[in-house]
Amino acid sequence: MKFWFDTPLWKRILGMLVLGIIFGTLAGESAMSIGWIGQMFIRLIRMIVVPLVFVTLVTGVVAMGDPKRLGSLGIKTLGLYMATTAFAISIGLALAVIVEPGVGVDLAGVVPNEEIGRSSSSLQDRLLAIIPTNPVTALAEGNMLAIIFFALMLGAGILLTGKKADPLAKVFDAGSEVMLKVTHLVMEVAPFGVFSLIAGVVGTGGIDQLFTVFPLAAAFLAACLVHIVITHTFIIKFLLKLPPMRFFQGVRGPQLVAFSTSTSSGTLPVTIAAAEDNLGVKTPVASSVLPLGSTINMDGTAIYVGILAVFSAQVFNIPLGLTEYLLIALATTLVSIGTAAVPSASLFLLAAVLSVLGIDAAQTAIIVGFVFPFDRPLDMVRTVVNVTGDLSVATAVAKWEDEFDEDIFRAPPVD
């Protein structure tokens, strides 16, 4: 037991991930018999996401001491999130043009998936959903954008009230500390949850299926790697004047959890802990920027949907010019706002993006039916990209807002 707990958490997670791959390969579909362990881990994480986000976000707003800082922080956060998404889409489209994953693909034998292909809400509905008609309902349903909006309003209200609201501010501050301790307790289950989840994915043949669509998978994986290495290295090294290797060392824990769970919101407790403990991001920024990022910052999703759009156009012989590429980029950016941070949520965006190319619902259903069987392994990768982007932006905003401890950032990461 001493050896186990003395080993850094990220090493325990990585070791169990490798063992899970081996076990899944040997056990096959029977590996699903231990799937309940992975589901237990996911339920534990989802259990703490809503209270953690709510109390830490209110605490973070109160800690700013000045309501005007919310505007400055919000503009920088949204601007940087939109900029990284634009880079992600550009990289994805460029790789899709080079690789041409849809050329020569025959979809004659594909079973259409109409349910996912037709599921898409309008941008207007997404924007209206930000304002909750009932905050309690939003908390109960886990509506993250609505929770964030209400928490920001409540935090600002506490600030404007002044000393009379000090007792309430202390309650939220204590609640934030408690929820972070609970998060660390839950993360001790992570290695076993990762083992179960990865074994199930490998055992049911998810990874093997990548080889049936190698050009599409190769374009996507290459774009993700380029985006993580180039975009975030540029932000850390050239914009912030910090060592990129320290950043990537500090985010490996959240990356591993994101890879195994395929959910940005589920990884959020680990992401917040890593931002504060390893990157030196102080609570006011970590508790506001990261929950927002887990909801609106979908770099991996943008890459995936962009590549799928080009793939679809190539399959159906639709010519693409500069105008079409700009439409794909714009549509992907808009519909990614508020996307559910759960496995395979990217496929729900596809109908809205493909519609700008004139691809109808029936054709979209065919595309979704083609990619759905192997979507989980790719979803694992794009969640890693999403979480890495959240942490990169949080680090930048923290440094620009003087809510950053450089000594913690440069120190060896806490595992």
- 391 vs 46, which has greater pLDDT? 391
Residue 329: CB atoms within 10 Å: 21
Please state which of the ranges 141-155, 245-259, 301-315 shows the lowest mean pLDDT: 141-155
Alpha helix (H) residue ranges in 206-320: 214-226, 232-234, 244-250, 252-261, 264-277, 283-296, 299-315
Tokens of 74: 């919000």
**What's the Cα-to-Cα distance from 107 to each of 110, 264, 312, 358, rounded to whole Å?**
5, 31, 11, 18
Instruction: Annotate 28-59 with DSSP letters as a single string.
Output: GGGGGGGHHHHHHHHHHHHHHHHHHHHHHHHH
In this prediction, residues 164-189 reach a mean pLDDT of: 88
Segment 13-16 long-range contacts (CB within 8 Å, at least 24 positions apart): 13/190, 13/191, 13/194, 13/253, 13/256, 13/257, 13/260, 14/256, 15/191, 16/191, 16/192, 16/194, 16/195
From CA 86, how far away is CA 303, in angstroms rounded? 10
Query: Is the predicted pLDDT of residue 302 greater than 60, yes or no?
Result: yes
From CA 404, how far away is CA 283, in angstroms rounded? 9
What pLDDT, on a 0 to 100 scale, did the predictor assign at position 360? Answer: 82
The model's confidence at residue 117, banded by pLDDT at 50, 70 and 90, is: very low
**What's the Cα-to-Cα distance from 23 to each of 202, 208, 312, 337, rounded to whole Å?**
9, 15, 36, 37
What pLDDT, on a 0 to 100 scale, did the predictor assign at position 114? Answer: 58
340-376 per-position pLDDT tens digit:
555 555 666 677 788 888 888 788 888 887 887 677 7
State the helix-helix crossing angle for 166-187 and 144-161, rounded to 10 degrees: 140
Query: Is the predicted pLDDT of residue 121 greater than 60, yes or no?
Result: no
- Delineate the domains of the chain, giving CATH numbers in brackets: 14-410 (1.10.3860.10)
Answer whether 382's CB lies under 8 Å from 301's CB.
Answer: yes
* Residue 156 burial (C-beta neighbours within 10 Å; 0-12, 13-18, 19+): middle
What pLDDT, on a 0 to 100 scale, did the predictor assign at position 107? Answer: 76
Closest CA to 314 of 98, 121, 115: 98
What pLDDT, on a 0 to 100 scale, did the predictor assign at position 254? Answer: 92
From CA 217, how far away is CA 220, in angstroms rounded? 5
Residue 319: CB atoms within 10 Å: 8
